[in-house]
Amino acid sequence: MSDLAQKKCKPCEGGVAPLTADEITLLMKRLKGWSYTGSVLTKTFEFRNYHETMAFVNATAWISHREDHHPDLSVGYSKCRVDYITHAIGGLSENDFICAAKIDALFDI
C-alpha cells in the first residue's frame, strides 16, 4: 500500500496554489496506472460485470465521504473512470493523490 494511502486529506477551500509540474511528476511516481492530463488526475478501472463496477463505485463514494474529497466518476457496465481535480484551486493538490492511492489500495484488500 502506498504511503499516500496512509495520509488524510486536508480541507482546501482555495487560496493556495495548485501543485507545480515538478511536484505532480514526483507524486505520479507513487501511483500506478494514473495519468495526468491538463489539470486532471485520471484512471479507468475495468471490471467483469456491472455488479463489480457498482461495488467499486460505492467503495469509492465511501472513501470520498471519509476524506471529504470527491472525484468525478464516469460509470459504464464494466468500467469506471475516476477524475480528480481540486476544483477550489483549479488544479491538483496532494488530496487528489491521497484519494487516488486510497482507491488503488481497495485492490490490496
Each residue's pLDDT expressed in tens, for the chain with a length of 109 residues: 569 999 999 988 778 899 999 999 999 999 999 999 889 999 999 999 999 999 999 999 999 999 999 999 999 999 999 999 999 999 999 999 999 999 999 998 7
pLDDT at 14: 77
Q: Which domains does the chain have, with CATH numbers?
A: 18-108 (3.30.1360.20)
**Core vs surface per residue 75-89: b (16+ CB within 10 A) or e:** eeeeebebebbbeeb
pLDDT at 15: 82
pLDDT at 11: 85
pLDDT at 1: 53
Q: How far is CA 30 from CA 13, 27, 51, 99, in A?
A: 25, 5, 29, 12
> Cα 41 vs. chain centroid, distance in angstroms?
7
